[in-house]
Amino acid sequence: TQKEEVIHALFGVYVIKQVQKEFPNWFNEDFYNKLYRACKKAYEAECNIIDWIFEKGELSFLSKDVVKEFVKDRFNTSIEMIGGKSVFEVDKEKLKPLKWFDDEIHAEVNTDFFHKKPVTYTKKSKAIKAEDLF
């Protein structure tokens, strides 16, 4: 699921940051230039897969251009998390249809308050009115 993918990515970032602490001299300009080139090649490979997935047409609610833009944004986010700079220009307008994805990833899972007392909260929570519940 998307949450497992995020956990996997965050674990990778954690490991890289640990290596950065132990070997900071490895993370020089040459390293980041190699990383940027690798990301561009990986993006091309991802685009080939996306083109293959959508070869019989696009979905009414999701175009391959939106998916490609999402992939670019994920690359940028990951690189920035380890101290690099964005590699791709991202059209934020194209990402708007996928706002639900970020909401789903970062939203707090609801606790059954009849069974267990909720102890967490979310900063991005939305106000809920009685009309929304019934």
Q: What angle do CA 116, 120, 126 make, to 5 degrees?
A: 110
pLDDT at res. 104: 72
pLDDT tens digits for 12-53? 999 999 999 999 999 999 999 999 999 999 999 999 999 999
pLDDT at res. 71: 95
Distance CA 102, CA 129 (A): 23
pLDDT averaged over every residue in the chain: 84
pLDDT at 87 over 70: yes
pLDDT at res. 22: 97
For the entire predicted model, the pTM comes to 0.73
Distance CA 47, CA 72 (A): 10
Structure tokens at 48: 């080939």
Domain ranges of the chain: 2-108
Dmax (CA) for the chain in angstroms is 59
Of 41-45, 74-78, 90-94, 120-124, where does mean pLDDT reach its minimum? 120-124
pLDDT at 8 over 80: yes
CA 87 centroid distance within chain = 15
**Crossing angle of helices 99-106 and 2-22, rounded to 10°:** 70
pLDDT at res. 15: 96
